[in-house]
Amino acid sequence: MKREIPLDKANRLLNIGGVVLITAKSGERDNVTPVAWNVPVSKEPALVAVAIAPERFIYKLIEESREFGINLPTLKILREVYFCGKNSGRDVDKFERTKLTREKAKFISAPLIKECIANIECKVENIYPAGDHNLIIGKVLRAVVEAKLFEDYLNVSLEEAKTIHHLGGSLFTIPGEIIDVKNYIS
């Protein structure tokens, strides 16, 4: 038997991809904000999409600078991720408060985050209105991964690094194991 759920909770059925930390900088101000609603949308050219509400401080910095960083956090920094999602860069310097380390990017002015296991540098390709969030399409300029954690640059080693997936509110889940569907085909 299936039951109906409120429409504004339907996103929770889909948004269990890994949470990312978005970084951006405009003028002297930089910021870091967790975003659960993120998805790749094109391979060639490499494009990604993030849904960010226009009232977020990070949105303003992205709109002004037309670039942003995507940083992949793990369970090790869950508390820092949550802090960044419960506070606005308008009121606090989140780097200062969390002690996350800024790392210089190659093509964008926004800092990347050292404690994250992968980082992507993007420039804004397009912004589309989408209800109470806007869909920001980023063109991937550069992507780096922690070499010892990524097999063939594809699968993160789950023994070493647990990506964090947002269920809603204060609840998160972490991946348990990698399975190869080929082992289930006779």
Ligand X SMILES: Cc1cc2nc3c(=O)[nH]c(=O)nc-3n(C[C@H](O)[C@H](O)[C@H](O)COP(=O)(O)O)c2cc1C
User: Which one among 18, 23, 25, 36 touches ligand X, defined by CB under 6 A?
Assistant: 36
Q: Which stretch, 69-77, 80-88, 104-112, 113-121, contacts ligand X (CB under 6 A)?
A: 80-88
What would the x/- binding string for ligand X be over residues 140 to 159, using CB under 6 A? Answer: --------------------
Q: Contacts from 122-128 at CB under 8 Å and sequence distance 24+? A: 122/48, 122/67, 122/68, 122/69, 122/70, 123/66, 123/67, 124/62, 124/66, 124/67, 124/68, 125/47, 127/63
Residue 85 or 111 having the CB closest to ligand X? 85
- Is 33 among the residues that bind ligand X (CB under 6 A)? yes
Binding site for ligand X (CB under 6 A): 19, 31, 33-37, 51-53, 56-58, 82, 85-90, 133, 166
